[in-house]
Structure 1
Amino acid sequence: MLWYSNVTRKSRKNDLVQQVIEDFNKWCHKNKLIVNINKTSIIDFRNRSRSISNTISTTATVKYLGIVMDTNLRWTSQIDEVVKKLNKSFFAIMTLKNYLNNNSLLSVYYALVHSALNYNIIAWGQSTELNRLFLAQKCIIRLMFNLRNIHSCRETFKKQGILTVTSIYLYKLLTNFHAHKRMHRTHTQIHGHDTRGKDSFYEPKPNYAFYKRSPMFAGTHMYNLLPEKLKACKSLGIFRRETRKFLIRNCFYTIDE
C-alpha cells in the first residue's frame, strides 16, 4: 500500500501520483519485480472521489489485508462482508447444533463468529452500521441457547462470558491504548500544572465528527472513562483479563452506554 498526504490542487495531485507510480515501477524493475496493473487500484479518501491516474484505475472500494475500505471510510462494504460471514456461520451452527454439546458449540462460535467480528475491528468498529452485526450476532446466540425473539440476550451473554460486538471493539481499543499509553500525554503534562482530571489523558477537540470515530480519539476518550482500578493495572496481561471481565459484566450493547 502506498500513501500520500492531502494535496489541494488537482493537477498537482495528479502529477504527484504519476511520479510515485513511476518511481515505484523503477524500484520494482530494479529489484526484478513486476507490478500487476490488473490487481492494483487507487482509492482517493475524500468526500468526492475523482480519477487521479491514467495508468491505474480509481476505485470506490478496495480490499486490503482482509478488510474492505471505501473512499469515505464509512465501512459499509466491510460490514456487508462480515454480515455474509455471520449468515454462513448461522447455518453452520444450526446444522452442528444437533450433534454438539454447548462447550463444543461455543468452540465453533469462537472459530467462526468471534473471529469474523474481531478481525481488525479497531479500524471499523465505530461504523454507524455496526448494529447490523449485533443483530446477526444475537440471532446466532438465540439459536445456540434456544432463546425466543421476545427474550433478551443480555443475561446469556454474561452467563456464557461472550462479548457483544460492541464490547469486542472496546476491548481491542482499550487494550491497544493501554499498551501504548506512554505515547499519550496527560492533562498535567499538557498544562504544566495540576488541573481537574489531571491524570486523565488529553483529548484533542475534533473539528469533524469523523475524527471522533477514529481509533486515536476514541481510544483516548474511552480509556479516560474506565474505572481507576483498571487504569492502574501495571501488566498488560492483567489489564486484558480485568478489562474482559469488566466488559462481560456490563455487556455493552452500544458505544453510548
Structure 2
Amino acid sequence: LYADDTTLFAKGRDLTTVAEKVHKNILCLKEWLGKNKLILNENKTKNMAFSICREGEQGDPAVFLGITLDSQLSWKAHIDSLSNRLSQIVYLLRKLSDEVPLEVLRITYFALFHARMSYGIELWGSSPHAFVIFKVQKSAVKTMLKKKLHESGRPLFQKLMIMTLPSLYIYKLALRQKGNKDAVTRGNQHQYNIRSKENIYLPATRLKKTEILPDVASVRIFNKIPVTIRRLEIKTFE
C-alpha cells in the first residue's frame, strides 16, 4: 500500500521556529505511521522553506502533484519545465499539420497542449514568467494554421476558438469562485442596501504576493463580472 504526496505544513516568523515545528510534526507522524503499520520513505521526503523575502534561503525546487514549487513561489522552475514539454507538443503539431485536417489538429491541441497548459494555471498564471508559456501557445496556434511567427495571433485564436493563456487564467479563476459555496457577500456583512451588496467579501491584503493568490484574485475577478451573469447556474456560467 502506497500513500503518496502526504504533506506537513508549519509556519512561523523565522526559520528556526518553523524547523522546530516541522521536527515535532514528523515525530508525531512517524508515531502514527508506526501504529498503523506504515513506513515513511525518508529518501523521498522533501523539506522546503517558503518565504517572500528575496534574501531568504533558496533550496532546490520540488515537484508536488505535477507542480514544480520553488522556495519563493516565483513559479519560474515550473514554467521552464512546462515550456519544454509544450514545445515538444508544438513540434508534434508541426509534424501532424501535413498529415491530418485542421479539426484533428485542434482536437490534438486540446488533448495534449491545452490539458497540460491549463493544469494549475490558477497558481502560476499571474507570474511574470507566464509570458514564456503564452509565446509557446501562440507558436502552437500559428503552427496549426501554417502561419509565420511574425503574424498577429489574435485573429488566429478567434478562428480556432481557443482561449489565450491570459483569458484562460481569468476564466479558471472565475469558475473557481463560482464554485465556492462558502463565499460571503458584502450584503451578508451588514443590513444596508448598497449597490455592491452582491459582491463577494474581500479581506484587506498588505502584500503584493497575497493579492495574486488564487483565493484573493478569484474574488477580484468574479466581482467584476456583471451580476446577471454571476447569478447563472454553474453549467450555464461555464
**Within-5 A mapping of 1:125-136:** 125-136=125-136
| Pair 12,139 (structure 1): closer, same or farther in 2 beyond 3 Å | closer
Q: CA deviation at 1:9?
A: 5.0
Q: CA deviation at 1:29?
A: 2.0
Amino acid at match of 2:204: K
Is this contact kept in 2: 1:203–1:220, CA < 8 A?
A: yes
Say if 2:29 is the partner of 1:28.
no
Equivalent residue for 2:219?
220
Q: CA deviation at 1:183?
A: 1.4
Say if 2:203 is the partner of 1:204.
yes
Q: CA deviation at 1:30?
A: 2.1
Q: CA deviation at 1:10?
A: 4.4
CA distance in 2, matches of 1:99, 1:225: 44
Pick 1 or 2: higher relative contact order, CA cutoff 8 A, min separation 6.
Answer: 1
| Pair 29,71 (structure 1): closer, same or farther in 2 beyond 3 Å | same
Q: CA deviation at 1:149?
A: 2.9
Equivalent residue for 1:81?
81
Q: CA deviation at 1:4?
A: 3.0
Q: CA deviation at 1:215?
A: 0.6
Equivalent residue for 2:12?
7
Equivalent residue for 1:71?
71
Matched residue SS, 2:201:
coil
CA distance in 2, matches of 1:72, 1:192: 41
Say if 2:140 is the partner of 1:140.
yes
Q: CA deviation at 1:88?
A: 0.4
Amino acid at match of 1:166: P
Is this contact kept in 2: 1:188–1:199, CA < 8 A?
A: yes
Percent identity for Structure 1 against Structure 2: 26
Q: CA deviation at 1:11?
A: 4.0
Q: CA deviation at 1:49?
A: 4.6
Is this contact kept in 1: 2:48–2:59, CA < 8 A?
A: yes
Matched residue SS, 1:191:
coil
Moved more, 168-177 or 98-107: 168-177
Equivalent residue for 1:238?
236
Q: CA deviation at 1:70?
A: 1.0
Is this contact kept in 1: 2:10–2:21, CA < 8 A?
A: no
Matched residue SS, 2:163:
coil
Is this contact kept in 2: 1:41–1:59, CA < 8 A?
A: no
After the TM superposition, which parts of structure 1 deviate over 6 Å for at least 4 consecutive aligned residues?
Answer: none
Q: CA deviation at 1:164?
A: 1.0
Moved more, 129-138 or 163-172: 163-172
Equivalent residue for 1:110?
110
Equivalent residue for 1:172?
172
Matched residue SS, 1:73:
coil
Unaligned runs of at least 5 residues, structure 1: 51-57, 241-257
Is this contact kept in 1: 2:186–2:198, CA < 8 A?
A: yes
Unaligned runs of at least 5 residues, structure 2: 1-5
